[in-house]
Amino acid sequence: MPQSALFTGIIPPVSTIFSADGQLDKQGTAALIDDLIAAGVDGLFFLGSGGEFSQLSAEERKTIAQFAIDRVDRRVPVLIGTGGTNARETIALSQHAQQAGADGIVVINPYYWKVSEANLIRYFEQVADSVTLPVMLYNFPALTGQDLAPALVKTLADSRSNIVGIKDTIDSVAHLRSMIHTVKAAHPHFTVLCGYDDHLFNTLLLGGDGAISASGNFAPQVSVNLLKAWRDKDVAKAAEYHQILLQIPQMYQLDTPFVNVIKEAIVLCGRPISTHVLPPASPLDEPRKAQLKTLLQQLKLC
């Protein structure tokens, strides 16, 4: 068991930047990586939902993982998303991430079949056993259709010492509270990170460790400054930043999936990148771009 929690703080789920022909835009992705590190983030998570992993082939995911790891070049910890519907592919991608030099992997539960609890436990144990890297679980029941309950997560943390944390992407303070109380009671160094911007403050208040949330791509300073204020015991200042984060999820309602919204927000906030997204996502139309700009201006983010 590690002596201190791994992968704490603000870890943006980095958007993968693509050229107009759907290829990895290395220059754009590199610039975004450099901007986020300069903003003071605590790590970077590649090939999550916002990284469009579900629209990519295994080989494309390997290419992006290798590029990201090389570009970050140990400046901050790198997490690579390796989960999917296919356990053999998840294991292969996890082993590739380890060989490529990742600091850890993030593994979502399979999301086509509903999977029995015994099979779900076996899946995560097989992935954890296939690498020596730390493993972060990824709970996103709105997309997978199946929740990783706190008791199940504790069973996994009991079972494998390299299962070290969770990204809990769920719009429920009660779930976050139960995750923190159930798992951290037995494993104090188990990391609990929220996946929604507006739950960062709740997560910290409850004893959690930070966030892997989308606004880290276009407004990393808000979460970074909230966490700094919290660590400085300036709760009033942290609450000011929380007021901004409470409003940000309105933006994600502009389209589904909202990967296009995040990329347009990056541009509006000052980083000129390609906003191409992979189908079935599509470009954000002009009326919704205008709505996004208004929301960002109201929050003084652009």
Question: Residues 57-111: pLDDT tens digits?
Answer: 999 999 999 999 999 999 999 999 999 999 999 999 999 999 999 999 999 999 9
Would you state the pLDDT for residue 3?
A: 56
Give yes or no for residue 2 having a pLDDT over 50.
no
The pLDDT of residue 103 is 98
Provide the annotated active-site residues: 49, 112, 138, 167
Binning the chain into helix, strand and coil, the percentages to the nearest 5 are: 50, 10, 35
**Is residue 136 classed as helix, strand or coil in its secondary structure?**
strand
Taking the C-alpha atoms of residue 156 and residue 91, their distance in angstroms, rounded to an integer, is 17
For the chain, the average pLDDT equals 97
If we measure between CA atoms, which residue out of 59, 36, 55 comes closest to residue 276? 55
Query: 226, 236 in Cβ contact below 8 A?
Result: no
Residue 125: pLDDT band (50, 70, 90) is very high
Sign of CA dihedral 281, 89, 166, 133: negative
**By percentage, how much of the chain surpasses pLDDT 70?**
99
Q: Is the pLDDT confidence value at 126 over 70?
A: yes
How high is the pLDDT of residue 4?
73
pLDDT at 1: 41
- The predicted model gives 274-298 an average pLDDT of 97
Rounded average pLDDT over 212-223: 98
* Average pLDDT, integer, range 185-204: 97
**14-69 tens-digit pLDDT:** 999 999 999 999 999 999 999 999 999 999 999 999 999 999 999 999 999 999 99
Q: What is the pLDDT of residue 172?
A: 95
Q: Within the chain, how many helices (H) and strands (E) appear?
A: 12, 9
**Angle between helix 87-100 and 58-72 (nearest 10):** 20
State what percent of residues in the chain have pLDDT above 90.
98
Residue 137 Rama label (left phi>0; alpha psi -120 to 50; beta) = beta
Calculate mean pLDDT across residues 229-237: 97
CB within 8 A of 156, min separation 6: which ones?
Answer: 121, 124, 125, 128, 137, 163
pTM of the complete model: 0.97
Tell me the sheet residues that pair with 135: 105, 163
